[in-house]
Structure 1
Amino acid sequence: MSKHAPILNLPNILTLIRVAAIPVLVAVFYLPFGWSDMLAAGLFLAAGLTDWLDGYLARKLGQTSPFGAFLDPVADKLIVAVALVVLVQVHATIWLSVPAMVIVCREITVSALREWMAELGQRARVAVSSVGKVKTVAQMGSITVLLALKPEHAADGDILMTPGLWIGYAALYLAMVLTLWSMMRYLRAAAPQFLAAGKGD
C-alpha cells in the first residue's frame, strides 16, 4: 500500500456507490410496480458483488487504505441492516424478525469487539474467518431471494409460503446459525484479553 494512496481510489469509489445505493434500494422496493421487487433484489445482489470486487481491486491494484478498511465493513452492515428492516416490515412475522434481530445484534457485538481489540493491538485475533465468509454468502443470498419474492398473505394474515420463500427463509436461518457460530469464535479468540483485563481490575 502506498503511504500516500488517494482516498478516492477505485475500490473506495465502489464502496461509496454501495452506500449511495441504499436509499435507492429502499425507494425501488416500495415502488407500486410488479417489477420493483426483482429490481430491488438485483440492486442488493449487485451491491454484494461490488463488495467482493472492491476488495479484489484493492489487493490487485495495491490500493488498500485505512479509509477503505473502515468504510467497506460499514457499507456492508448498513445495506444488510436496512434490507432486513424492510423485510421485517413486509413479512411481519416472528419467523423473519428473530433471525433479523440476531444478525443485527451480532454485527453490533462483533464491531464493538473488533474496535476494543484494535485498541489493545490485537485486531488480528478477530479478523474475518472462513466461517464469516460463508455466513456472508448465505446472508446475501437469502436477502436477495426474500427481496425478490414479496409475500402474499392469506385471509387470516398468514404468509402464503412458496418454494422460493422456503429457500429464502432456510438460507436466512443458515446465516443466523453461522452468525452465532462466528461470533462465538471471535469471543473465544478474545477471551484471553477479557481475562487479562479482569485481572487488571
Structure 2
Amino acid sequence: MSKHAPILNLPNILTLIRVAAIPVLVAVFYLPFWWSDLLAAALFLAAGLTDWLDGYLARRLGQTSPFGAFLDPVADKLIVAVALVMLVQTHASVWFAVPAMVIVSREITVSALREWMAELGERAKVAVSSIGKIKTVTQMVAITLLLALKPEHSADNLTIVMTPGLWLAYGCLYLATALTLWSMFSYLRAAVPQFTNPGGDRDGS
C-alpha cells in the first residue's frame, strides 16, 4: 500500500455509496406502497454485497487504505443499527427487541474494545475472526428477510402472525445474535491480559 494512497479509490467509493444509501433505505422503508418492503430489502442486500465487493477490490487492486479500514466497519454498523431500529417499530415485541439490543450493544462494545486495543498496539488480537464473518452474513440474511416480510398483526394488534418466512427470518436473527455474543466474548477473552495491566489508561473521553 502506498503511503499516499488516494482516498477516493474504487473500494472507498463503494463504501461511501453504502453510507449514502442509509437515508435512502429509511425513506423507502416508510413509503406507503406495497412494494416498499421489497425495495428496502433489495437496498439492504445490495449494501451487504458492496461490503464484500469493496473488500475484495481493495485487496485485488492493492487499494487498501487507512481511510477504507476506518470507514468500512463504520458503514456496516451504521446500516445494521438503522435497519434494526426501523424494524423494532414493525416487530414491536420483546422477541425482536432483545436480539436487536444485543446486536447493537455488541457492536458498540467491540468497536470500543478495538479502539482501545489499537491504542495499546494490540489491535491484531481483536481483528475480525471467522466467527465474526459468519455472524455478519447471518445478520445480513436475517435483516434482509425481515425488511422484505413486514408482519401482519392479530385482531387484537398485540401479537405478530408468524408465517414460514418470518420463522426463517427470526431463526436467522437468533442465530446471528448467538454468534454475536460468541464473537464478542472471544474478542474480550483475547483482551483479558490487557485488562489486568496496571498501566492501563482510565481516561473515558
TM (normalized to structure 1)?
0.98
Q: Measure, in 2, the Cα distance between the counterparts of 1:197 and 1:32.
A: 57
Instruction: Report how far residue 197 of structure 1 moved.
Output: 3.4
Q: Which residue matches 2:70?
A: 70
Instruction: Report how far residue 91 of structure 1 moved.
Output: 1.1
Q: Which residue matches 1:115?
A: 115
Instruction: Report how far residue 200 of structure 1 moved.
Output: 9.4
Q: Which residue matches 2:193?
A: 192
Q: Measure, in 1, the Cα distance between the counterparts of 2:32 and 2:185.
A: 42
SS in structure 1 of the partner of residue 99 of structure 2? helix
Q: How does 1:82-161 map onto structure 2 within 5 Å?
A: 82-157=82-157, 158-161=159-162
SS in structure 2 of the partner of residue 83 of structure 1? helix
| 191-200 vs 88-97, which moves further | 191-200
Q: Deviations over 1:127-163 (max 9, x none)?
A: 0000000000110000000000001111122111000
Amino acid at match of 2:162: M
Q: Measure, in 1, the Cα distance between the counterparts of 2:19 and 2:122.
A: 28
Runs of 4+ more than 2 Å apart: 197-201
Return 5+ residue gaps in structure 1 as ranges: none
SS in structure 1 of the partner of residue 115 of structure 2? helix
Q: Measure, in 2, the Cα distance between the counterparts of 1:165 and 1:197.
A: 49
> What is the count of residue pairs matched by the alignment?
201
Q: Deviations over 1:6-60 (max 9, x none)?
A: 0000000000000000010111111111111000000000000000000000000
Q: Measure, in 1, the Cα distance between the counterparts of 2:153 and 2:26.
A: 21
SS in structure 1 of the partner of residue 196 of structure 2? helix
Return 5+ residue gaps in structure 2 as ranges: none
| 71-80 vs 152-161, which moves further | 152-161
Instruction: Report how far residue 93 of structure 1 moved.
Output: 0.8
Amino acid at match of 1:22: I
Q: Measure, in 2, the Cα distance between the counterparts of 1:120 and 1:46.
A: 36
Q: Is the 8 A contact 2:102 2:177 kept in 1?
A: yes
Structure having the larger proportion of residues in helix: 1
Q: Measure, in 1, the Cα distance between the counterparts of 2:82 and 2:199.
A: 36
Q: Which residue matches 1:163?
A: 164
Q: CA RMSD in A?
A: 1.3
Q: Which residue matches 2:25?
A: 25
SS in structure 1 of the partner of residue 197 of structure 2? helix
Q: Which residue matches 1:13?
A: 13
Q: Is the 8 A contact 2:194 2:200 kept in 1?
A: no
Percent of matched pairs sharing the same residue = 81
Q: Deviations over 1:50-99 (max 9, x none)?
A: 00000000000010000000000000000000000000011111110000
Instruction: Report how far residue 2 of structure 1 moved.
Output: 1.2
Q: Measure, in 1, the Cα distance between the counterparts of 2:162 and 2:116.
A: 43
Q: Is the 8 A contact 2:154 2:161 kept in 1?
A: yes
Q: Measure, in 1, the Cα distance between the counterparts of 2:30 and 2:13.
A: 27
SS in structure 1 of the partner of residue 154 of structure 2? coil
Q: Measure, in 2, the Cα distance between the counterparts of 1:101 and 1:55.
A: 27
